[in-house]
Amino acid sequence: MSHSTPASIEKLETDLWEAADNLRANSKLTSSDYFMPVLGVIFLRHAANRFDAAHRQIEADQTSGKMPKRKVLPADYIARRALYLPDKARYDFIMQQAAVSGADLPKLVTDAMTAIEAEFEPLLGVLPRDYAIFETKVLEDLMRLFNSDQIKRATGDVFGRIYEYFLAKFSVQKAHDNGEFFTPSSLVQTIVNVIEPDHGTVLDPACGSGGMFVQSSHFIEHEGGDTAKKVVFYGQEKNRDTIRIAKMNLAVHGLEGKIAEAITYYQDEHTLAGKCDFVMANPPFNVDLVDAERIKGDPRLPFGLPGVNKQKKVGNGNYLWISYFYSYLNAAGRAGFVMSSQASSAGHGEKDVRRKIVETGAVDVMISIRSNFFYTRTVPCELWHFDRAKPPERRDKVLMLDARNVFRKVTRKIYDFSPEQMHNLAAIVWLYRGQRERFLGLVKDYLGRVCAESAAVPATLATFDATLADLRSRFDALARAVVRHAKLDADAQKALADAVTELREAHTLYESDAKKLLGSLSAFNQKHAGALPGKNDAQHAARKAFDPAAEAIRGLVKQVDLLTKLAARVADLGSGLAAEGAVSATYDRRATARLVKQLDDQRKAAVEQLKHAAYFHRQIAWLHDRFPKAELEAVPGLVKLVDRKEIEAADWSLTPGRFVGVAPPEEDDDFDFEQTLRDIHTELADLNKEAAELAAKIQENLEDVTV
């Protein structure tokens, strides 16, 4: 589980956008003017981060002997999925030069783009160069915005979120199809996990910003492969600016792709029909203006047109895309794509096309996704997957997976999958394909994480305990001093005495419970960390052995939170009483306040570490409770393997919810009332902010009307 929380990334995104959007307030530029230049600055920063990481890796490899000590070449950076940056194209160099009096920052950035294009031919003519439109001060503010320590430390995943966020915010411009040129990374990763694009020709005929290619590369590298040697990426995209973004996105990851400017409804620029090993896409949904006359003889439409209206337009383009994806595959190809949830049960001509596709036996896995996974669309969707090389025993079967109850709340409006949720969904697909060992391997990995996270618990609790002990000694000294001064307010004295007593009693109970928990964690690690169980029965035994510790962790988290609150309460009460000169000599209010803040920081670290151990145990429990035999079985509300007769009986519907049933209600053992209350306050604040913005906009429009 990433230690960069969704909330912290959300705040970073918001802060960056608000600062970048000051360009509109502090210049004569519109967002359409600075859209590409701002993305260019993000590109430079991301490229610098990846370059620096690759440079450190090269140095480490040379030191360890994994790489000979020779002159480092640009190819060495490409091999580590980074773009080689000439000196003048490095972010730090640009910022150093910008600090020189009279420096022409717009020219420095433009020269950086030119140098990168000269070094990496696929970017020739792609990078933005119109930085002369900025006043130097405005551009400098923007550059400094992306030069903070937090941004410098940002990983690829965090930068991917930032990049996606800026694309989404800019996507209100009509020129960019309302943000349909990118797909949330968790959906892309889920598709990649199902089709596993690890060789050959990979096509995205609606490639947008190239996210499908980037995630495919991550998958290949995770499996130990070299993307450049394993696959060739092809793409089609109708928007020229979006193609530039895609090429930038590929380049910053050290990748290349052949991307053509084309409208896929009418063009097959790469002539890849029947030749692709993998096809992935997030096409525009429900397009109704496709010219039927221009496509009626297209060989990529073997199932016919899904329906033509009186204007000789295809009534809905969804099944054109679905047909294309099928037709691009070779005899052993796989496809995965995002599609409107309406498509899986659509009627009339669309149902006829769907029936024909089902009858090919290529429909492999259907996954329902709840609403709010997209920045710019709130509708639910489904992930379709084809496999034209399914074995005979699965030829007439489709795995129906309803993942609408599987999600992580990122913001009030945006959901996604956590990495572990994606792994768990993939594990279901492994069981469907008879890959039981992969399922067991994932559980084994989770057990390893339980051990690793548990081993880190004692250190975080020790720092918390030390600070709490320091505070308690200060509080005890204060309590003794207060007792000696009878003139102090009696009620205040009693309140302090009661608070100190409550803290002492809570601490005594905590010490006993913490000792027991640390003992059980140590015993678990001693038994399992050195030899993680790989068999199903042994894994179940290990999971059950940790069950009491997981329950104890939940209790200890509450105790740590309580102790911090009680310590803060005693400090507040003591601060008022210590105003008396005689008492203040024994009680340093400022030092105590600093310790209380320190304790709260240590509380957060301790609680997070405790929760990490319980979190990975919970992933094991999720898999074990649903698939106890490490074999695929129907789970109400989640998954069912259906055959063609069942699909035909359901009017050829491919909607998972029609087959899997309803899940029984589950009790949330990790329900956090205080966090939920904070979420409600955050949501209310967001709504109030939106209401104020809307009221201001209405007022502005009314003033325009009355003028």
Give the C-alpha separation, 601 to 266, whole Å. 59
What local confidence, expressed as pLDDT, does residue 157 receive?
Answer: 58
Rg (CA), the chain: 29
Residue 106 has pLDDT above 50, yes or no: yes
More confident residue, 578 or 42: 42
Residue 707 has pLDDT above 60, yes or no: no
Sorted by sequence, the CB contacts under 8 Å of residue 280 that are 6+ apart come out as: 188, 191, 192, 195, 197, 202, 203, 204, 212, 216, 335, 336, 337
What local confidence, expressed as pLDDT, does residue 664 receive?
Answer: 76
pLDDT-derived band at 31 (thresholds 50, 70, 90) equals low
pLDDT-derived band at 16 (thresholds 50, 70, 90) equals confident
Of 319-323, 537-541, 649-653, 684-688, give the lowest mean pLDDT range.
684-688
What local confidence, expressed as pLDDT, does residue 672 receive?
Answer: 58
Give the C-alpha separation, 69 to 62, whole Å. 6
Output the average pLDDT for the chain.
88
Sorted by sequence, the CB contacts under 8 Å of residue 618 that are 6+ apart come out as: 550, 670
State the Cα angle at 621 between 619 and 627, rounded to 5°.
105
More confident residue, 182 or 406: 406
Residue 583 has pLDDT above 80, yes or no: no
Give the C-alpha separation, 420 to 190, whole Å. 11
pLDDT-derived band at 176 (thresholds 50, 70, 90) equals very low
pLDDT-derived band at 103 (thresholds 50, 70, 90) equals confident
**% residues pLDDT > 70 (the chain):** 86
The Cβ-side half-sphere exposure at 456, using a 13 Å CA radius, reads 15
Q: What backbone phi and psi angles, to 5 degrees, belong to 366?
A: -115, 130
Of 245-254, 307-316, 602-611, 673-682, give the lowest mean pLDDT range.
673-682
Give the C-alpha separation, 368 to 380, whole Å. 8
Residue range 43-57, pLDDT digits in tens: 898 899 899 999 999
Residue range 614-627, pLDDT digits in tens: 999 999 999 999 99
More confident residue, 634 or 378: 634
Of 16-20, 262-266, 319-323, 671-675, give the lowest mean pLDDT range.
671-675
Residue range 504-544, pLDDT digits in tens: 999 999 999 999 999 999 999 999 999 999 999 999 999 99
Residue 654 has pLDDT above 80, yes or no: yes
Question: What's the token pair of residue 250?
Answer: 């590929």
What local confidence, expressed as pLDDT, does residue 177 receive?
Answer: 44
The enclosing H or E element of 307 equals none
Residue 581 has pLDDT above 70, yes or no: no
What local confidence, expressed as pLDDT, does residue 698 receive?
Answer: 81
pLDDT-derived band at 673 (thresholds 50, 70, 90) equals low
